[in-house]
Chains A and B, each alone.
Chain A
Amino acid sequence: MEFLNPVGLYAFSLLPVLLIPYLIWRRSRRIVFSSLLLIRDFPSDSVSRIWGRLRLPLIFFLQLLFLLLLVLALGEPVLTARRPENLAIILDNSASMQALEGPTSRFEIAKEEARGLLQHLPNGVRVDLFLVVPKLGRIGEPALTPGEALAIIGTLNPYDLGDSSNDYGEVLSRLAKDSSYDRIFFLTDHPVVEQGGRVRVISVGQPQGNLAITSFHLTRVSFASSRLRARIEVTNFSSKRQKVKLSLKGGGRLLSTQTQAVSPGKSVSVFFEGVSIHPYYEAEIKPPDALALDNRRFAVPPSSKGLSVLGISPRPRALDSLRSIPGLTLKVIPPDAYEKTTSGRETLEIFHFSAPAVLPQSHALFVLPPEDNPLVFLDRPLTSPEISSWRDPHPLTRYVNFALFRPVYARPLRSRSFGDDIIQSPEGPLAIVLEREGFRYLVLGFDPFPYLGRDNLPVSIFTLNLLGWFREGLMGSSTTTGKPLQFPDRRSTRMLVTPLGERIPIKKGPYFFYRTFFQGIYQVVGDNKKELKAVNFLDEKESDLANPSPVNLKRVTKATDRRSIDLSLWTYLLLLSLLLLFLEWLFNPPVARFPYLTERRGLQIKP
C-alpha cells in the first residue's frame, strides 16, 4: 500500500489533540463548598498528579478510530492490484536540478531515488528512461532491464537549460494516455498537486533562496569609442536582503569588483564603465549559493568597433548624409545591386525606398518600403502628418521632442504579421519594430534622411536613437542555452570547441549548432582566427528556487484512471469514518459529551 498524498499523513501529529478535551474534562476543577468538614478525608490519590488519572471512556477510542480513518483517507492510500511490468522513469535534468541540497545536488538525489526504484524491481520488468530537457524524450533503448537502466542513469548529468514545458501535468498526461506504461515515475524538483493515476511524481529538494545574474551586456560608450560599458543585472530570489559582490573578468583576468545590496524579489543593475577590450568577459557574483550556474555569466565584446551600414537606396545622396556621424561607415548601393552583394559583412542594412524579396539576415531599417515588401502594408500618403502618440519609454523615442517632429511626407503602416507600434499618427502607425531570429527590424512610414544634425534636432535625435538601438542589438553578442548558434557560410572547414572541451568540425556552408546545452564560451577555430560566442543560461523561472511551479496531475488522474493498476481506498475509508461518526453521535449525544455543562448550575467556580 502506498499513499498518494503523504503530506496528508502529517495530520497524524494532530491526533493527540483529541486528548485535550479529555484532559480538560479530567483536570482538577476548583469549586467552593460550604464546609470541608464532611469531605476532608475522601480519597484524592489521583489528583496528586498534574492531570490526574486519565480515565479514557470507550467513546474516546471510537473517536480516535474515526480520526485515524479520516487521516488515512487524507493520505489517499492505494493498493497495487497487480505487479507493474512496464515502467517509465522520467528524470528532470533541467538547470534547477543542479541546485545543491546540502552536499549533493538535486539531480544526484533524483538519481539515487531512481536507483532505489530500480533496485527493488523484480526480473522481467521493462523500463524506459526519459529526460525532460531539451525536450521530453527517451534515452537509451526502449524496454531496458533494470540493470541496463541503472547503468544509463549513472552516466546522466543535468543540462544548463530551463524546463522544456510550462505544464508538466499536461506532458505526463499525454504520455500516460498514449503509452502502455503501468507506472510512470517523474523525479523532479517541482512540487506536485493531486498525485494520482499511473503517474507518481517524486519531488526532491526544498524551496530555497537564490541569487542570479539575470542580464549581462557589453556596449560601446559611443560608435567610435574603444572602451566598453558592462551592465550586470542581479536578481534576488530570496526573502531577505542580500549583499553581493560582483566581479567582472576579462580574458580570465579580474578587471573590477563592486558590492551591491539587493532587496528580496528585486533586481539591481550594476554598471562597469571604461572596460577595456578582451576576447571574452565573465561576470560572477558572490557569496556562492545553492545554484552556482546562474552566479556566472559570459559575454563577448561587439564584433566591430563602429557601426557598419549598407545603404540600399535609389536616392544615395540622402543616405550619404550619415557619413557625418563619427564611428559609422557607410556603403550605399542601388537596389538592383543588392542581390549581387555578399551579405553578412555589414551590421546594419538600410533599405531606403526599397525592400529585399526576403528578410535579410542582419539588422535592417526599412524607410518607406515599396508595397511588395515582406513586413508591412502601406496606407495612403499623408502630408505633414501629426504625431499623436509614441511609445515611452523606448530607446527609439528617448529625448525626441515630438511636438517639433514634423515629417513632410508619410504613409501609415500596418504590420503584416506582428510588430510593436512605436510612433503613431491619427491615421495609423508611422514606425513599427519587430525582432525575428535575433535580428532587429525597424520600418518607418516617413523618411528621416538626410541627416541634418542640429538643423533638424528632433529627427536627428531620432536617427541617432535608431542607430544606437541597432547597435545595442549587436552588443555583447551572447545567446541563451538551448538556442542554436548560427555560423555564416565559410569556404573552409572550422572546428567548434564547446565549454566542455568537445571539438565538433563545422563543414562548409551555413551551419547551425543546436546542442548549446551548457553555459560558457563556444569557440570557432579556423582560417587562422578564433571566433568566440557566449552562451548563457537565462531562465528566471529556473533561478527562482523559492517558488517552483507545481506539477498538477489532476488531468493525469482523470486520463489514466481506467487503466490504473491501483485500487484507491480513500473513498472506503471516508465512508467508514462517516459511519463511525454516526455511531459516535448515536452513542454519545452532545449532552452526554459535556456532562459538566448540565451539572454546573448551582456551583460556584472560583475565578
Chain B
Amino acid sequence: MLPAPFTSEFLSRLECLRLRTRREVLGGRPGSYSSPRRGTSLEFADYRAYTPGDDIRYIDWGIFARTDRLYVKLFREEVDLFVYLFIDASGSMVFPSIREKFSPACHVALALAYVVLANHDHVKLHLLQENPTPVVSPFFRGRHRIMDCADILSSFTPRGPIDLAPALGEHLKRVRRPGKAIVLSDFLMPTSSCQQGLNLLRAFNLDISVIQVLSRQELDPSFPDGNLVVGEPESDEEIRLQWSADIRRKYQERLEHHNRQLRSFCHQEGIHSSLYVTDQELSEFVLQTLPSIGLFR
C-alpha cells in the first residue's frame, strides 16, 4: 500500500509529469527521450550521402534537384529512459526520526519513481549503505510496479556510516545503461566527498539530479542551552560543546555555507539540485519545486 501522501489526485497529477534530461540517452526500446542514435522518429536530425541499400523513401529529392547528388534524411531515435534513484540509507537519515527524515526522502523517491513508471520508463532503486552487497532493486517498468518500489523502501531501515563516493562506486558497478541518476541524501558530509561521488556519476555518463533532504531540526536545532555531549548515529564519536543561541546561529551559517557549496558545484556541473525540508508538503515539493528547477518538463 502506498504511503498516505499518495492520494489518487496526487498520482494523477504525477502522471502528467515527465522527467527532463539534459543530455541524450541511450534507451533500449522506443520511447520519448532523444537518443544520440539515428532512428525513425519524426524529428529531423541530419543528412547523409546516399549509399546503395538505403531506403529510397528517405532520399531528399529537393537536394537532388538542386545539387544532382543523392542524400538521405536522417531522423532522431527516441528511446525510453533508465532512471537510477540513489537513496541515502545511512544512519544520519534517521535523525530526528525515520518518520521525519528517511520516510519523506522515500516518499520523494516514490513520487519520482511513479513519474518514471507512468511514462513507461525504467526505474531502479539503489539504497546507499556501506554494505559489501549493495541493496539494489531490479529495473521496474509500468506503473503497477510502484507497489514493489514502495515495498522495498518501506522494508528498509537506514543505519551505519556512509562515504558517498565508495558507496556510489559499488552501485555503479551494476549500472550497465546510461540514464538519469537522482541522488537523495542529506549530504551532511564533507563537500569534497559529495563532489567525488557526483563526479563518479558523471563519469558513468549519467544525467544527474540531486535532492538534498534535511529535517527542520537540522536546519534549526533546538537543543537546550548548556553543555551537550553530541553523538552521531553513523559513528561512536562524541563531542562536547556549550550550546547557546550564538552557537546555533553559527551552526546555521555553516550549514548555509555547506549547502551553498553543494549548489554551486551542481550548478557548475549542470546538475539539477534542490533542497527538500521534510516538514514541507510532498505534493508542493514534487509538483512545484522540482519543475521549477527543471527536473520535470
- A residues sitting closer than 8 Å to B (CB atoms) are 25-40, 42-48, 52-53, 595-596, 599-604, 606
| CB–CB B228/A31 < 8 A | yes
| CB–CB A603/B254 < 8 A | no
Total cross-chain contacts (CB, 8 A): 121
| CB–CB B221/A33 < 8 A | yes
Most buried by B among A42, A46, A52: A42
Min CB–CB distance B97 → chain A (angstroms): 7
| CB–CB A31/B223 < 8 A | yes
| CB–CB A35/B234 < 8 A | yes
| CB–CB B96/A47 < 8 A | no
Query: With the chains together, A209 CA to B224 CA distance in Å?
Result: 55
> Which one of A30, A38, A40 contacts B255 once the chains associate, using CB atoms below 8 Å?
A38
B75-100 to A contact mask, C-beta < 8 Å, 1/0? 00000000000000000110111001
B189-225 to A contact mask, C-beta < 8 Å, 1/0? 1100000000000000000000000011110011111
Chain A residues with CB below 8 A from B241, complex form: 39, 42-44, 47
Q: Given A26-B227, A31-B228, A35-B92, does the pair A48, B240 have CB atoms closer than 8 Å?
A: yes
Query: With the chains together, A291 CA to B89 CA distance in Å?
Result: 82
| CB–CB B242/A45 < 8 A | yes
- Chosen A-B contacts, 18 in total, with CB atoms closer than 8 Å, are A26-B226, A28-B226, A30-B228, A32-B233, A34-B92, A34-B215, A37-B190, A39-B230, A39-B241, A46-B242, A47-B228, A47-B242, A52-B242, A53-B242, A595-B225, A599-B222, A600-B224, A602-B216
Min CB–CB distance B213 → chain A (angstroms): 11
Give 12 new A-B contacts, CB below 8 A, not counting A35-B186, A40-B239, A47-B241.
Answer: A32-B230, A32-B231, A33-B232, A34-B218, A35-B92, A37-B188, A37-B189, A42-B239, A43-B241, A48-B240, A599-B222, A599-B224
| CB–CB A44/B240 < 8 A | yes
Q: Given A34-B188, A37-B188, A37-B189, does the pair A28, B227 have CB atoms closer than 8 Å?
A: yes
Residue of B at shortest CB range from A596? Answer: B224
Chain B residues with CB below 8 A from A52, complex form: 226-227, 242
Q: Is B258 an interface residue (CB 8 A)?
A: yes
> Which one of B101, B222, B227, B251 contacts A39 once the chains associate, using CB atoms below 8 Å?
B251
Min CB–CB distance B173 → chain A (angstroms): 27
Q: Given A35-B189, A42-B250, does the pair A30, B231 have CB atoms closer than 8 Å?
A: yes
Q: Is B2 an interface residue (CB 8 A)?
A: no
| CB–CB A25/B226 < 8 A | yes
Query: With the chains together, A36 CA to B216 CA distance in Å?
Result: 16
Residue of A at shortest CB range from B225? Answer: A595
Min CB–CB distance B185 → chain A (angstroms): 11
B contact face: mostly helix, strand, loop, or mixed: mixed
> Which one of B216, B224, B258 contacts A595 once the chains associate, using CB atoms below 8 Å?
B224
Min CB–CB distance A544 → chain B (angstroms): 56
- B residues sitting closer than 8 Å to A (CB atoms) are 92-93, 95-97, 100-101, 186, 188-190, 215-218, 221-234, 237-242, 247, 250-251, 254-255, 258
Chain A residues with CB below 8 A from B258, complex form: 37-38
Q: Given A38-B258, A39-B241, A595-B225, does the pair A32, B189 have CB atoms closer than 8 Å?
A: no
Query: With the chains together, A39 CA to B222 CA distance in Å?
Result: 14
Residue of B at shortest CB range from A37? Answer: B188
Q: Given A35-B189, A36-B239, A38-B258, does the pair A47, B227 have CB atoms closer than 8 Å?
A: yes
Query: With the chains together, A33 CA to B255 CA distance in Å?
Result: 14
Which 3 pairs between the two chains have the least Cβ-Cβ distance?
A34-B95, A35-B188, A596-B224
> Which one of A29, A34, A35, A48 contacts B226 once the chains associate, using CB atoms below 8 Å?
A29
Min CB–CB distance A131 → chain B (angstroms): 65
Min CB–CB distance A531 → chain B (angstroms): 88
> Which one of A32, A596, A599 contacts B95 once the chains associate, using CB atoms below 8 Å?
A32
Query: With the chains together, A429 CA to B170 CA distance in Å?
Result: 113
Min CB–CB distance A25 → chain B (angstroms): 7
Residue of A at shortest CB range from B247? Answer: A42
Query: With the chains together, A83 CA to B4 CA distance in Å?
Result: 86
Query: With the chains together, A45 CA to B244 CA distance in Å?
Result: 13
A contact face: mostly helix, strand, loop, or mixed: loop
Q: Given A30-B229, A33-B95, A35-B189, does the pair A603, B223 have CB atoms closer than 8 Å?
A: yes
Query: With the chains together, A47 CA to B138 CA distance in Å?
Result: 50
Most buried by A among B190, B228, B251: B228
| CB–CB A602/B231 < 8 A | no
Chain B residues with CB below 8 A from A42, complex form: 239, 241-242, 247, 250-251
Min CB–CB distance B285 → chain A (angstroms): 20
Min CB–CB distance A26 → chain B (angstroms): 5
Min CB–CB distance B230 → chain A (angstroms): 5
| CB–CB A34/B242 < 8 A | no
Q: Given A46-B227, A599-B224, A602-B217, does the pair A38, B251 have CB atoms closer than 8 Å?
A: yes
| CB–CB B239/A604 < 8 A | no
Query: With the chains together, A48 CA to B190 CA distance in Å?
Result: 27
| CB–CB A38/B254 < 8 A | yes
Chain A residues with CB below 8 A from B221, complex form: 33
Chain B residues with CB below 8 A from A600, complex form: 224
| CB–CB B255/A29 < 8 A | no
| CB–CB A602/B239 < 8 A | no
Min CB–CB distance B57 → chain A (angstroms): 61
Chain A residues with CB below 8 A from B97, complex form: 604
| CB–CB B227/A38 < 8 A | no
Most buried by B among A38, A595, A599, A603: A38
Chain A residues with CB below 8 A from B92, complex form: 34-35
Q: Given A34-B232, A40-B239, does the pair A604, B95 have CB atoms closer than 8 Å?
A: yes
Residue of B at shortest CB range from A49? Answer: B227
Residue of B at shortest CB range from A30? Answer: B229
Residue of B at shortest CB range from A55? Answer: B226
Chain B residues with CB below 8 A from A606, complex form: 231
Chain A residues with CB below 8 A from B230, complex form: 30-33, 36, 39
Most buried by B among A26, A27, A37: A37
| CB–CB B237/A602 < 8 A | no
Query: With the chains together, A33 CA to B186 CA distance in Å?
Result: 13
Residue of B at shortest CB range from A41? Answer: B239
| CB–CB A29/B233 < 8 A | no
Residue of B at shortest CB range from A594? Answer: B224
Chain A residues with CB below 8 A from B223, complex form: 31, 599, 603
Query: With the chains together, A153 CA to B266 CA distance in Å?
Result: 101
| CB–CB B242/A602 < 8 A | no
| CB–CB A34/B186 < 8 A | yes
Query: With the chains together, A431 CA to B88 CA distance in Å?
Result: 106
Min CB–CB distance A315 → chain B (angstroms): 105
Query: With the chains together, A596 CA to B228 CA distance in Å?
Result: 12
Chain A residues with CB below 8 A from B95, complex form: 32-34, 604
Most buried by B among A595, A599, A603: A603
Chain B residues with CB below 8 A from A602, complex form: 96, 100, 216-217, 222
| CB–CB B229/A31 < 8 A | yes
Min CB–CB distance A427 → chain B (angstroms): 89
Query: With the chains together, A601 CA to B188 CA distance in Å?
Result: 22
| CB–CB B217/A44 < 8 A | no
Query: With the chains together, A26 CA to B226 CA distance in Å?
Result: 6
Chain B residues with CB below 8 A from A599, complex form: 222-224
Residue of B at shortest CB range from A36? Answer: B232
Min CB–CB distance A606 → chain B (angstroms): 7
Chain B residues with CB below 8 A from A603, complex form: 96, 217, 222-223
Query: With the chains together, A494 CA to B229 CA distance in Å?
Result: 95
Q: Given A34-B92, A596-B224, A600-B224, does the pair A43, B242 have CB atoms closer than 8 Å?
A: yes
Most buried by B among A30, A35, A40: A35
Min CB–CB distance B196 → chain A (angstroms): 15
Query: With the chains together, A47 CA to B215 CA distance in Å?
Result: 28
| CB–CB B237/A28 < 8 A | no
Min CB–CB distance A237 → chain B (angstroms): 55
Chain B residues with CB below 8 A from A46, complex form: 227, 242
Min CB–CB distance A459 → chain B (angstroms): 94
